[in-house]
Structure 1
Amino acid sequence: MATRRIERRLRPTSRAIGLVVVGVLLAAAAVVFGRGELLALGGFLVALPLVAFVLRLIWRPRLEAVRTIYPTTLAVGDRMRVVTEVRNRSLIALEPSSYLDLLPGAEPSSIGGVLPAIGSRLNRNEDKRRRRVAYGVDSMRRGVHEVGPLFFDNADGLGLTRRVLKIGEATEVEVWPRVAELPAMSVPSGKSGGEVEAGVAQSGDSDDVLTRDYRRGDPLRRIHWRATAHAGELRVRQEEHHAEDTSVVILDTSGTAAAEEPKAPLTLVDLMNEQAAPAHAIDAEFELAVSLAASVLARFHRFGYETELFETHAGLDGDTESTRTPSEEALESVMRRLMLTQPDSTAGERREACAEVVDDISRVARTPVVYVHRNLAGDGLTAIRSLSAMAAPALALIVSAKPVPRATLTSFTDAGWNVAVYSPARAKPFTPLLELEATA
């Protein structure tokens, strides 16, 4: 259904319309009763809104905005700081106005407010010719978003006319999936292949450890200060493993079981954004599944594994290519892929590619395989379960807001999978509801 957008052009307020109506009635009464003072008063009431409207048409405020955002790349749940400086370049001052910085997914209370009057460019006081809008948000959704433009709901001093002013341009920000520490996930150290390139902290003590260069995202508690002082750059403790070790993560991108995805409630941001697509409610299960996949990849990468991400469904172009990240590189590319990935639609636009995924993984030596499961069923799920024969270990993370049937759990454990169940309905969604060991 088409949304009625907020009018932005200059328009009279209900007060102005009321004055015109009263003025016309007074003029009519003056003619009937022959009272000249009523005619003068009626003419004044009619002329006042008209003059105000014409003057506002002639003198339009000229504002410019400079926006600073930190950071421009963040994860779901991180706090983003936005500071916008607004300057008045016109000859007339701007009355106090309510503002809204367009930011989908944020609460209007955190991105809107009332800005004091801004002096004209003739004002000698620099501080009165500019105002600052600053706020922080931590409710950004996964994906690529645009912050801005800034909107002002501006009315004249008498409240007879109002217009919505669009100030500045949009700034793009990237919101990556949330990465959390997953408890009790077993990661083997590997038994074959050449050792990963790592430095040994020769401190002269008996507690020599393997170290490597510091990477963005490494916790400060893992910094090895003696090795850092010796090397002249930050070094962190490196768990011993082997460079040829590869870890595989498979994300279930099958569509939701619901017949129709519910629409999100209409917000003020939706009304202001005339180019917005129809809003959809967040698929909490899929968002948690993506975050689990990102968290597992980050954990493997922290241990020095080469990581590889597969999805159970091909892209819209039919591509089934995985995203491989060597241990010495950052996870930027795979995080961007997870930032943009979406579940298959009810129309089945994405082709199921489980057989191709299994074929690709089967060419790799025994390796840790983590499968994040949601709604996949049938032959595709059977193919994925068969990977336990070539995995060491095989771990299935099942995401469901509802109780998982016992048959589903046993189908994994009997096939040789360790199982952990997660629910987005919990206060701590990254803590498993249930953990089961493989029985095969």
Structure 2
Amino acid sequence: MTDTGTRTRQTTSTRSRVVQFVDRTRTRMFGEAEQSAFGPDHEPTFFERMRERLAKAADFVAPAVRPITGIGWITLLLGVAAIVGGLVFKWHEVIVIGVAALLLMALAVLFVLGRTRYRIELDLAYTRVIVGERALGRIEIHSSHTRTLAPASIEVPVGTAVATFDLPRMEPGDMHEDIFAIPTRRRAVLQVGPVRSVRADPMSLLRRQVKWTDPVELYVHPKTVHLEASAHGLVRDLEGITSRELTASDISFHALRDYVAGDDRRYVHWKSSARTGKLMVRQFEQTKRSILALGISTSPDDYANPDEFETAISVLGSLGLQAIRDEMDVSVTTSTGRLPVAGSKRLLDALSGLEWSGRNSRFYRLAQQIGREQGGASLVVMHAGTTVTPEEMRRARLLLPAQARVIVFQPQTDAKVRVRELGDAQMVTIDDVQSLPRILRSLEDR
């Protein structure tokens, strides 16, 4: 028994040493075993390890091959293929072509080698402009290298376009400045930058880029017009709309009633009390603050052309800005959700990035959303293009709050401005945002 136990322990000890030796060898060759979704003790398979090593190799090689352009790849592959084909088929002329192609790649490497040290500042005069205005920008480039820097190109991406500047040879401590203008033909949110330096060879085989700044957002706001302070008179009641709820203190007087212990004596009607011989107090109808609900469809099916959509955004922006200045309760709802109305700047920024999409819901669904979320609105102003028919507007009106006044602005280029009654709603045909103040004055008289 003793000899058997001793032999068993020796065998177990030898097996443990062998297992430890195998584990150490595997760790040196493949690394530590990683935990996975299968559990903490799961060891990656051979294919998982190979995939990980290929990913690491790609990360290592990517910086070296990233400067190669499309023409560079063609030249490189042509050179290798020509040399291999020439050696196989004994074509000396083809070998010469391959060697020449590889020599061109080698010469191109000399143009992009070397470190560049710049300190670049990107500055926009204004980060918010109105569509049609030019946004001015400035880049200031300082040489931070101890040696002379070779000429290079500086690129400033502006949206989908790229502005290019030629940078001359710079001595240590030199400064170079360039001023550029950004035309704003349409409403948008443009990303300006990051500023990058570019070094390339004359054949454009290699192109090396280095980013030096962070991007800056430029908001191109829609055109808006200033409205008179009385524009919110469309609601009829500047203090609010009265309800059937009675209260002890408000603005709209309702009737007199007997005094009850606890009533505010400021509202005791002394003449009636003297006449009846008992205290009488005033009773009021509770008023609610006027709520303006603005809605705009962002479905291209609701507009005949992009100009109608841009006019609708300008009209909505003008109404929203005036409501914010008048400190009214206002909400702006689109086919994709609500826009921030905490301030004029935030509203215009949101309108700058508003785009239409075929996936967005149409006018009828927008009315349904406003009726569900803005049940207490006193004035609803919606915007849609000429493809929305009056019949669709009538059906959409049934989904909106019953107590609200509903106005639908329908932009139509080169059309005559007019107001049309659609039951208890009104459809306004507008040609341009400049006609909005005149239209509002006519609506106030109705």
- TM-score interval, normalised by the smaller of the two chains: 0.5 to 0.7
1:117-146 per-position Cα deviation (integer Å, ceiling 9, x unaligned): 222xxx3xx23xx32232232417544432
Residue ranges of structure 2 left out of the alignment (5+ in a row): 1-64, 76-99, 241-286
Letter in 2 for 1:289: A
Letter in 2 for 1:417: Q
Alpha-carbon deviations, 1:37-77, whole Å to 9, x = none?
xxxxxxxx999968754533542434442222343344444
Q: Quote the residue 1:193 is aligned against.
A: 239
Matches within 5 A, 1:37-436: 52-90=107-145, 93-104=148-159, 111-119=163-171, 123=172, 126-127=173-174, 130-139=175-184, 141-154=186-199, 163-175=207-219, 177-181=221-225, 186-188=231-233, 190-191=236-237, 193=239, 244-256=289-301, 283-311=306-334, 313=335, 315=336, 322=338, 325=341, 330-345=343-358, 352-364=365-377, 367-374=378-385, 375-376=387-388, 381-386=393-398, 390-392=403-405, 394-401=406-413, 410=420, 412=421, 415-417=424-426, 419-422=428-431, 430-431=434-435
- Residue type matched to 2:329 in 1? E
Q: Residue type of the partner of 2:127?
A: T
Go from structure 1 to structure 2 and tell me whether the alpha carbon gap of 1:356 and 1:133 turns closer, same or farther (over 3 Å shift): same
CA contact (8 A) 1:243 1:305 kept: no
For residues 435 and 352 of structure 2, the distance between their equivalents in structure 1, rounded to whole angstroms, comes to 22
> Can you list the C-alpha shifts for 1:242-265, whole angstroms capped at 9, x where unaligned?
992332212122224689xxxxxx
2:298–2:362 contact (8 Å) kept in structure 1 = no
Give me the whole-angstrom Cα distance separating, in 2, the residues matched to 1:398 and 1:341.
Answer: 18
Aligned-pair CA distance for 1:384: 3.8
Output the amino acid matched with 1:342.
E
Partner in structure 2 of residue 272 of structure 1: none
Tell me the secondary structure at the aligned position of residue 313 of structure 2: helix
1:338 counterpart SS class: helix
Deviations 1:176-228 (A, max 9, x none): 6325216789431753638xxxxxxxxxxxxxxxxxxxxxxxxxxxxxxxxxx
| Structure 1 partner of 2:19 | none
Q: Which structure 1 segments of 5+ residues have no match?
A: 1-6, 18-44, 195-241, 260-281, 424-428
Greater relative contact order: 1 or 2 (C-alpha under 8 angstroms, separation 6 or more)? 1
Distance in structure 2 (CA, Å) of the matches to 1:401 and 1:115:
46
Q: Residues of 2 paired with 1:131 and 1:308: CA distance?
A: 48
What root-mean-square deviation, in Å, do the aligned CA atoms of Structure 1 and Structure 2 show?
Answer: 4.8
Distance 1:308 1:384 in 2: 18
Q: Counterpart of 2:179 in 1: which secondary structure?
A: strand
Distance 2:101 2:408 in 1: 74
Shift of 1:297: 0.5
Percent same amino acid at aligned positions?
A: 16
Instruction: Decide which moves more: 377-386 or 133-142.
Output: 377-386
Match for 1:381: what amino acid?
M
Report how many aligned residue pairs link the two structures.
305
CA contact (8 A) 2:410 2:428 kept: yes
| Distance in structure 1 (CA, Å) of the matches to 2:417 and 2:239 | 40
Larger Rg computed on CA atoms: 2
Task: Return the alpha-carbon distance in structure 1 between the equivalents of residues 203 and 369 of structure 2.
Answer: 66
Note the alpha carbon deviations across 1:2-44, whole angstroms, 9 max, x for none: xxxxx97267999xx9xxxxxxxxxxxxxxxxxxxxxxxxxxx
**Whose helix proportion is higher, 1 or 2?**
2
SS at match of 2:430: strand
Q: Equivalents in 2 of 1:324, 1:66: separation in Å?
A: 32
- The alignment partner of 2:327 has SS state of coil
Q: Give distance in 2, aligned partners of 1:169 and 1:53.
A: 27
Q: Which letter maps to 1:396?
A: V
Q: Say whether the 8 Å CA contact 1:73–1:175 is kept in structure 2.
A: yes
Q: From the superposition, tell whether residues 64 and 190 of structure 1 become closer, same or farther in structure 2 (CA, over 3 Å).
A: same
Task: Evaluate the alpha carbon distance shift between residue 293 and residue 377 of structure 1 in structure 2; reply closer, same or farther with a 3 A threshold.
Answer: same
Q: Secondary structure at the match of 1:341?
A: coil
State the Cα distance separating 1:298 from its structure 2 match.
0.5
How far did 1:104 drift? 1.3
